[in-house]
Amino acid sequence: MRFSIAGGTRLSGTVRVSGAKNSVLKLMAMSLMANDQCVIRNVPRISDVETMKGVIEELGATVNWSGDTMMVTPPERLGTEAPEELVRGMRASIQVMGPLLAKVGEVHIVQPGGCSIGHRPIDFHLKGFRAMGAEVEERYGYVRARANRLKGATIYLDFPSVGATENLMAAGALAEGTTVICNAAREPEIVDQQNFLNLMGAKVRGAGTGQVIVEGVKELGGADYTVIPDRIEAGTMMVAAVITGGHVTVQDVEPEHLGFLIAKLREMGAGVEVSHNRIDCFADQPITGTTVRSMPYPGFATDLQPNIAALASTAVGCSVLIETIYSNRFHYLEEMRKMGAKVIIEQSTAVIKGVEKLTGASVTAPDLRGGAALVLCAMAADGNSIVDGVELIDRGYEEFERKLSGLGARITRIE
Ligand code: UD1
C-alpha cells in the first residue's frame, strides 16, 4: 500500500489526536490480570492494537471493540503460550509476559529479534523476573518463565527501559511483598499504566519518577479507563503544520507531555501557542537548524527524531541529530536523500544541511516513525511523491491520510 502525495499545500485547520498507541497496548496486556471486565476508552483504530487484540484473544480473553471503546474479559484460565506469529510481528507483544507470569505463573514466548531500528533485547525484563524468583529458560530462540508466586524484589535497570519498567510493574502488582524498580522509565505511558493498575486495585506509586514502588496484592478487579492522548501523533501533526508553512490547531493533547518538542520548535523559529488541551502551531518566519539528542523522557523522544529531521531538511543552516536510544534509526534519511535532502550519517549522528525546497520522489517507509517523517517531507516538497510501505505507518497513526486531508493535504491511499 502507498500514499500518493502532491506537495506544496499549507496545512490549516484543527485536528484531534487519538489515544496513545504506546499506552493502550500495555493496558490491554494488563487487563489479562483482572478478575473482571476492563473497559478501555479512547482506543485508536491502528493495526498494532489489532495485533495486541489477537495476542490476548489467543491467550483466552474475549475482546469487544466498538468505536473507540474496548472491553476485555479475561477467561477462567489464561493460556501461557503467546502466539508466535503475532509476537514476531509486533515487539510490544512481550508486554504480556509480566501479566501472565504474575497471574498464571508461567509464560512461553518467542524471543523478539532486532528490528528495523536496531537491536532490541529483552534482557532487562528477564533479569527483573529472575530477581523476583522466576525460573527463566532461554533456549532455541524461545523464553519460558515460571514462578509459583513472584516475590517482590528491588530491581536496578541498567537503562530506564519503558517496556521493562512496565512488565515489572505488572509482575509486581500480583507478587508477594514489595517490588522497587530503580532507574525506572519516566514516560507518561508509565504513569498511565500506574493509574490503570491502581483502578484495578493494585498499589503502585512513584510512576513518573526514577523509582516505582509496587506493593503486591492478591487479586485485581476490572477498571474503566481512558487512555492518554498520543504525544507522538500530536508531535507529527505539529511538525506537519510548521513544515508546510501552515497553521494547525492540535486538539485534545496533553501539552505537558510535549514540553521538549514545544521548546525545540520555538528554538527553530516556529510559532507554538499552548492552552490546556490544545496546541497551535504555525510558521510565520524562516525555520532554522537545530541540535537534537534523543533521550529517555523527559528528554527529547526518539520517536520524534525523524519528524525533526524532516523539518531540519528545509531549515536554514545545519542541524545535528544524535540518536542515543537505538543503534540504527536513520534508514529513513536514505529515503529523504531521494527527495533532495542533504544528509551525512556518521554512526549515531546525522548532520542535515537544509535545502530551500525538497523535490517529490518515490520513497519507501523503512519503519513507522520514519515513514511518517517521509509523508511530512512529501507534503512540503515541490511536485508529487509516492510513499510506499504505508502498512508500517498504519501500525501507529489512526486515519493518518483522513486527518491530513482534513487539514488540506493532497494525499490519497493507493491500495
Ligand atoms: C518503547 C516504545 C518505543 C520507544 C521506546 C523508547 C512501545 C510499544 N514502544 O519501546 O516507541 O521508541 O519505548 O522511548 O511503547 N533495551 C535493552 N534491554 C532490554 C530492554 C531495552 O538493551 O531488556 C534497550 C533497547 O534495545 C533500546 C533501549 O533499551 O536501545 C530502550 O528500549 P525501551 O525503553 O525498552 O523501549 P521499548 O519499551 O521497546
Q: What pLDDT is attached to residue 399?
A: 97
Residues 218 and 238 in one domain: no
Contact indicator for 186, 210 with CB cutoff of 8 Å: yes
> Do 131 and 256 belong together in one domain?
no
pLDDT, residue 324, reads: 95
- In this structure, are 105 and 253 located in the same domain? no
Domain ranges, residue 258: 2-15+230-414
- Kindly report the CATH number assigned to the domain that includes residue 406: 3.65.10.10
**Measuring from atom 34 of ligand 1, which residue has the nearest CA?**
161
Active site residue 377: no
Are 60 and 202 found together in one domain? Answer: yes
Question: Does 162 share its domain with 287?
Answer: no
Amino acid symbol at 296: P
8 Å CB contact between 95 and 163:
yes
Q: Choose the catalytic residue: 115, 281, 318, 377.
A: 115
Are 132 and 217 in the same domain?
yes
Extract the residue ranges of the chain whose pLDDT is less than 50. Answer: none
What was the pLDDT predicted at 209?
A: 98
**What is d(CA 24, CA 21) in angstroms, rounded to the nearest whole number?**
5
Domain count, the chain: 2
| 188 in Cβ contact with 297 (< 8 Å) | yes
The DSSP symbol for 258 reads G
* 59/94 same-domain check: yes
Q: Find the length of the chain.
A: 415
28, 91, 161, 236, best to mutate for ligand 1 pocket (most atoms within 8 Å of CB):
161
Ligand 1 close to Cβ of residue 303 (< 6 A): yes
Residue nearest to atom 20 of ligand 1 (CA): 122
For ligand 1, atom 2: residue with the closest CA: 22
Q: Detail the DSSP E strand segments found in 75-219.
A: 106-110, 135-139, 142-146, 154-156, 178-182, 203-205, 211-215
CA dist 21 and 43 (Å) reads 8
The reply to whether ligand 1 has any atom less than 6 angstroms from the CB of 302 is: yes
Q: Is the pTM of this model over 0.95?
A: yes
201 with 262, same domain: the answer is: no
- Predicted local distance difference test score (pLDDT) of residue 62: 98
Predicted local distance difference test score (pLDDT) of residue 114: 57
The predicted pLDDT at position 327 comes to 85
- For ligand 1, whether the C-beta of 163 sits within 6 Å is yes
Closest ligand 1 atom to 232 CA: 11
pLDDT, residue 115, reads 66
Q: How far is the CA of 315 from the centre of ligand 1 (A)?
A: 30
Domain co-membership, 402 together with 294: yes
- Report whether 65 contacts 31 (CB < 8 A): no
DSSP state of 325: S
Question: Ligand 1 atom 5: the closest Cα is on which residue?
Answer: 162
317 Cα–ligand 1 center, Å: 32
Domain end among 182, 202, 226: 226
Are 177 and 286 found together in one domain?
no
Q: Which atom of ligand 1 is nearest to the CA of 187?
A: 14
**Helix (H), strand (E), coil (C) string for 94-106:** HHHHHHHHHHCCE
pLDDT in tens, 387-408: 999 999 999 999 999 999 999 9
Name the β-bridge partners of 412.
4
Final residue belonging to a domain, choices 193, 226, 259: 226
Please indicate, yes or no, whether residues 134 and 211 belong to a single structural domain of this protein.
Answer: yes
Domain finish residue from 171, 201, 226: 226
Task: Check residue 59 and report its DSSP letter.
Answer: T
Task: Using the mean position of ligand 1's atoms as its centre, give its distance from the Cα of residue 17 in Å.
Answer: 23
Task: Evaluate: CB of 92 within 6 angstroms of ligand 1.
Answer: yes
Would you report the helix, strand and coil content of the chain in percent, each value rounded to 5? 35, 30, 35
**DSSP states along 16-53:** E--B-HHHHHHHHHHHTTBSS-EEEES----HHHHHHH
The answer, yes or no, to whether any atom of ligand 1 lies below 6 A from the CB of 164, is yes
Alpha helices for 296-341 (secondary structure H): 305-312, 331-338
Query: Is there a contact between 330 and 323 (Cβ–Cβ < 8 Å)?
Result: yes
Report whether 294 contacts 300 (CB < 8 A): yes
